[in-house]
Chains A and B, each alone.
Chain A
């Protein structure tokens, strides 16, 4: 699948935003974060900013962004519609939760409940986003249970790493954040490893023989594609990343997305505050790079069945 930058940015940024929102809500409601207005502003603002920026970027992908409102109507069947509805729905409790925290210094009671609601909706939104992909039986690298888990895991992990930076910069750091960060990195890494192992072992369920129904006559090979130059489908679904290249990028993802943030987060536990803050910033930077690579690969390694017709 063609890795469109708007969609890569959307899923990674909003994923991180939702992850941050979830953790911030849990920590704040659980009293692990002080209800100070500036911190609230930065944390909730950052989360909503990432979410909003991501959502905005996703509209760049649309042919008719001015009609985006139509996308809220089909939540009965469409994961994309559900995602939209959930994303918007999240803003309400998230906004109230933010107001309580930032303006009233309150993260409990009604505002606490709003925080919980925001966290739940955020989680649901991330799952809805992932289900857009995971529900497509046409793309076997996506049509996997690990996909929503990975999305959620990566969202939480990026949220946790972000939270670690913010808390360190604000000097309100608690080891619980690091524990969550480390745990989520390990889990997400595991999930992603499992994902990659799975897709490497995937056997195609369809081939030219089943696609054309001509398999009964022997091996089928493409002689002539319908048009000599690439068409929309080939641009959109025909993207192929060279195997070697994919390996290298995966290694990069392992290092930048998981290994380095993990090392830095662990090392920061023992580091002096300033160094730890620098390390946390480093972890975020590394994670950002890793996440973009991971998401690029998520698209680039996905093969759409309609390309079978094109002999790919």
Chain B
């Protein structure tokens, strides 16, 4: 018998290890990259990193294939064929930058508004936003408007922080968690890790979601709700808790505006606003003295119900009474909502009881002494261990803002925001409610920077970016009466509005990292037509010039005139900044960098560096020295270190001060990046134990936040259950005040701008015949794909290379459908032909598919007949950016009327069985040619072969 083989159990893994930040998705975990022979051998999670603590997801583990993808753009490109046909010539960077400078310079000198600068999935919005400001255009936003601005805005207008990646359940301590409409989210690894922890210690996880996959699959209880009805469900829970008096009244009095008095003078201009004293402070009724006093005083015993006479004789009621009145109404009884939600009344009642039981009977106490905003010391931190998390299942509906506010209301009534075991803010949150920064851009002028950043928070009609007639000033109509609280802009409306010239035509559309002719757009066919439409009068494209930066051969590349090819995430400097969307966690702030792990092998440049270069060429103030030379000749790393937003505060918070001796605020440290690299590319500051909870009212934390520049002053941040800004917009809609909405929007505004959470039927559902379109159609993020990028990845596309439409088994039976059948799916906007798969864990009124798997034939350097193109599909073909015409013929945007959030998930469809035919999905668009300069993709991928000591090249390439 032969001997047992003795393989080499200790092969050399690397000759170098570098730490950086993953960007296979926006979670931005720390990674440890092993390099061997100058190539990437292995990428693993960084054990010391606050976000992922060593773990890594399916995408992050496939980084090698993304980095070496054959779809990487190689050189700047100039369009030569017709737009949309994909014909380009390679040009030098000098020519590309010259062209861009010429186009942009001309606009800046005449009317900067003619530049619309919109960025997608990037993480340098603090740079891009600042650049737009310096350029002088109000027409800037990132993807937030079509992503989850409802979550951001509802949170920032209610509790001072939000879901999304800005807060998190207390994974260590929560005993009960409800997930609302979450499939994956930005906290990709932390949620998975957290769920693992919670389940491990026997805490209960409930998932409210029409679809049972992923997180819902491992939840202890899955509630297959009907899409768009979460608001009702949550309000029924609130109804139950109020009736049972299972609410944390202490918490409401201490930390919220529940006792603040609301003026009760129907029909007047101040109805529904807070009664205030001379200093402008809100009033409450102090039960001990029987007097009206400032609600901000610490030692008062405010009434939460009752009606009180104001000095001027008007009546006022505590806002809590308004809450109680509304939600205790029988309209929100479990029985009343059960049918709409598709959740039995008993279940609703039981969930309410479980919440109450955990919050009030399973209270946790941390023996941590802390001092509140008023200087009073408390010996314990009391925790109501009920946590909640919600994302796009809530936000991507036209009623999403209110639904999200309802969830916050529920959390706050239970006293479970910022307490141990509850929902926790990640610094720099909480912020004042809403944050103080107002949107700039009401006026713009040639060669002049904007007065401030284009995006901010409106608190009343006076903050809107509209002209004297009330017409929108921004190209996306953000901060107009169509979307007054559009804190992130409306990226999904830019192309349509620019094409229509409504409110005005633009000259250059400048986009970065957004696949806007395909998966991040609604009405794909329409958008492609608009992007290529020529004005017969001028013979010019209606959107005359399009500049685009991508790193890969995406669908969007074909629709640009000038392509600025970007680097991959392992080739460039990046900055995950506290000024932007940071990677903090609840226990303390953190930021991070990326640094070049390998040098690009192509003629590409990091977009941020290119943007700063363009800025210098355009002589934008922040980017040019007085002598006209570039302020950041070293490009983005130069900016990261040397740029200061306000004195002492720059993109990175760690190792500030000349010698890196301080953090947060401090002088520029020329060696800051070295310090980051030496510290595994991240900085993290752990809060002291007494700072970790009740951050909105915690003196020690608030002082720290001021020092860090997170907030301006250390005043208590009072939770705004009742929203005065909302009421201000409503009053305007009712005709009060000087700044008035157009008449055709009054009714909508009155309905939408309720100071307390309301529920209404999602707009698409309300405007189509639900008999013709009986089904809801949704998408979900697959855990192994990041939007459209994943399909170019040789590994990931094996896991999910085509998508089907999932239909509930019971529904399929009713419709006579079976697995593998082909169906036509029709919405008010169009129809597609796809293959179905039946599924048991699915709300019967819902069909769904994986998001962004469908690819346009020829894109991403995939074979034209790749299954992504021939078997895959997008729901985006069916979704319209405009609602069906109203009775007056107007078509409003398919967005939340408050925030402008794109309502992807309001889609209604019907499905009908069709012959399989050629078994190809429809629609199909003409195959795009391979982008010039790209090599044909290899048939065989044997990455890793070269690391083997006895590598036999003959055997590996076929």
Chain A interface residues toward B at CB < 8 A: 73, 76, 221, 223, 226-229
Contact B798 A229 (CB under 8 A): yes
- A76 to B, closest residue via Cβ: B1
Main SS class of interface, A: loop
19 contacts between A and B (CB under 8 A): A73-B2, A76-B1, A221-B840, A223-B837, A223-B839, A226-B799, A227-B798, A227-B799, A227-B801, A228-B798, A228-B799, A228-B800, A228-B801, A228-B802, A228-B867, A229-B798, A229-B801, A229-B802, A229-B867
Question: Contact flags (1/0) for B826-842 with A, using CB distance below 8 Å?
Answer: 00000000000101100
Interface of chain B residues 830 through 878 with chain A (CB within 8 A): 837, 839-840, 867
Which residues of B come within 8 Å of A, CB atoms?
1-2, 798-802, 837, 839-840, 867
Q: How far is the CA of A145 from the CA of B725 in the complex (A)?
A: 83
- Residue on A nearest B2 in the bound complex, by CB: A73
Q: CB-CB < 8 A to B802: which residues of A?
A: 228-229
A76 vs B799: C-alpha distance when bound (angstroms): 40
Closest-CB distance, A261 to chain B (whole angstroms): 42
Give every chain A residue within 8 A of B799 (Cβ-Cβ). 226-228
Residues of B within 8 A of A228 (CB): 798-802, 867
Tell me the complex Cα distance, A26–B648, Å: 102
For A229, the chain B residues whose CB sits under 8 A away are: 798, 801-802, 867
Provide the residues of chain B in CB contact with A73, threshold 8 Å: 2
- Closest residue on chain A to residue B839 by CB atoms: A223
Most buried by B among A226, A227, A228, A229: A228
Q: Measured between alpha carbons, how far is A228 from B1 in the docked complex, in Å?
A: 43
Please report the C-alpha to C-alpha distance between residue A227 and residue B782 in the assembled complex, in whole angstroms.
13
- Within the complex, the shortest CB–CB distance from A221 to chain B, in Å, comes to 7
CA gap between A229 and B803 in the complex, in Å:
11
User: Closest chain A residue to B806 by CB distance?
Assistant: A223
Q: How far is the CB of B721 from chain A (nearest CB, A)?
A: 41
B836 to A: closest C-beta gap in Å: 13
Cα A223 to Cα B841 with chains together (Å): 10
Q: What is the chain B residue whose CB lies nearest that of A227?
A: B798
CB distance from B798 to the nearest CB of A (A): 5
Taken together as a complex, chains A and B put the C-alpha atoms of A227 and B798 apart, in Å, by 6
Separation of A85 and B933 alpha carbons in the complex (Å): 56
State A282–B839 Cα separation when bound (angstroms): 55
Q: Give the distance to chain B from A242, nearest Cβ to Cβ, in Å.
A: 15
- CB-CB under 8 A from B837, the residues of chain A are 223
Chain B residues within 8 Å of A223, by CB = 837, 839
Q: Contacts of A76 on B, CB cut-off 8 Å? A: 1
Complex: A206 Cα to B211 Cα, angstroms: 30
Q: Which residues of A contact B801 (CB under 8 A)?
A: 227-229
A73 to B2 alpha-carbon distance, docked (Å):
9
- A228 to B801 alpha-carbon distance, docked (Å): 6
Residues in chain B near residue A221, CB distance under 8 A: 840
Q: Which residue of B lies closest to A221 (CB)?
A: B840
> Chain A: which residue is nearest B872 at the CB level?
A228
Q: How many angstroms between the C-alpha atoms of A228 and B835 in the bound complex?
A: 13
Whole-angstrom CA separation of A221 from B802 in the bound complex: 20
Chain B: CB-nearest residue to A311: B819
Residue from A73, A76, A223, A226 whose CB has the most chain B CB atoms within 10 Å:
A223
* A223 CA to B840 CA, complexed, in Å: 9
Chain A residues with Cβ below 8 Å from B839 are 223
Docked complex Cα distance between A76 and B2 (Å): 12
Hey, which chain A residues are within 8 Å of B840, CB to CB?
221
Ranked 4 nearest A-B pairs via Cβ: A228-B801, A227-B798, A228-B802, A229-B801
For the complex formed, measure the closest distance between the CB of B560 and the CB atoms of chain A, giving whole angstroms: 31
Minimum C-beta distance from B308 to chain A (A):
58
Query: Which chain A residues lie closer than 8 Å to B1 at the CB level?
Result: 76
Write the chain A residue with the least CB distance to B837.
Answer: A223
Complex: A229 Cα to B800 Cα, angstroms:
8
| Measured CA separation A73–B3 after assembly (Å) | 12
Residues of chain A contacted by B2 (CB below 8 angstroms):
73
Q: Give every chain B residue within 8 A of A226 (Cβ-Cβ).
A: 799
**Which residue, of A73, A76, A229, has the highest number of chain B Cβ atoms within 10 A?**
A229
Chain A nearest Cβ from B940, distance in angstroms: 14
Nearest-neighbour CB distance to chain B for A95, whole angstroms, equals 29
Q: How far is the CB of B811 from chain A (nearest CB, A)?
A: 16
CB distance from B919 to the nearest CB of A (A): 14
Name 10 extra pairs, CB < 8 A, besides A221-B840, A223-B837, A227-B798: A73-B2, A76-B1, A227-B801, A228-B798, A228-B800, A228-B801, A228-B867, A229-B798, A229-B801, A229-B867
> How near does chain B come to A73, taking the closest CB pair, in angstroms?
7
A63–B802 CA distance with the chains assembled, in angstroms: 30
Nearest Cβ on chain B to A70's Cβ, whole angstroms: 10
Q: Considering the chains assembled together, what is the distance between the CA atoms of A73 and B798 in angstroms?
A: 37
Compute how far the CA of A152 lies from the CA of B720 in the bound complex, rounded to whole angstroms.
Answer: 86
Q: Give the CA-CA distance A125 to B800 in the complex, in Å.
A: 46
Distance in angstroms between the alpha carbons of A229 and B2 in the assembled complex: 40
* Bound Cα distance from A76 to B1, whole angstroms: 9
Q: How far is the CA of A51 from the CA of B800 in the complex (A)?
A: 46
Shortest CB-to-CB span from A148 to chain B, Å, is 27
CB distance from A185 to the nearest CB of B (A): 43
In angstroms, how far is the closest chain B Cβ from the Cβ of A10?
25
A50 to B675, CA, bound (A): 75
Q: What is the CB-to-nearest-CB distance from B196 to chain A, in angstroms, rounded to a whole number?
A: 20
CB distance from B19 to the nearest CB of A (A): 31
A227 contact set on B, CB distance < 8 A: 798-799, 801
Cα of A117 to Cα of B739 in the assembled complex, Å: 109
A143 and B183 CA atoms in complex are apart in Å by 45
